[in-house]
Amino acid sequence: MPIEVAPGLGLTVYRVVQEALTNAHRHAPGSPVRVELRHVGRDLEVLVEDDGTGASAVQGAGHGLRGMRERVEMYGGRVDVGPRGGRRGWRVRAVLPVSQGATG
């Protein structure tokens, strides 16, 4: 079921996905990428995973990742970024409380 969020929170979700897709294109060109948005309890979860090696992205936390964290933290959320744990690829997972950016 779709949920409504404040425009600023919606823009933050958009920017997280945009940055994660940009990084996947840059560091794992041609690899499949999965984007998933889920409403879990009182949170909105954003998950972006690629099937590439992800090695070059591990070497540094660029401005894009820092900006992503800052945007999400403004809404009381958190971001986890790193290898997909035992499998090839890279994961960006952001969790944002919907109550912080709900409409109505």
pLDDT digits (tens, 9 = 90+) for 30-81: 999 999 999 998 999 999 999 986 554 445 556 788 999 999 999 999 999 9
First to last CA, the chain: 17
7-100: which CATH architecture?
A: 2-Layer Sandwich (3.30)
**pTM of the shown model:** 0.83
| For helices 7-27 and 63-74, angle between their N-to-C axes, nearest 10 degrees | 160
Q: Which two tokens stand for residue 19?
A: 């940055």
For the chain, domain boundaries: 7-100
User: Mind listing the pLDDT tens digit for each residue in 83-93?
Assistant: 987 768 999 99
Residue 20 in tokens = 């994660």
Could you tell me if residue 44 is left (phi over 0), alpha (psi between -120 and 50 degrees) or otherwise beta? Answer: beta
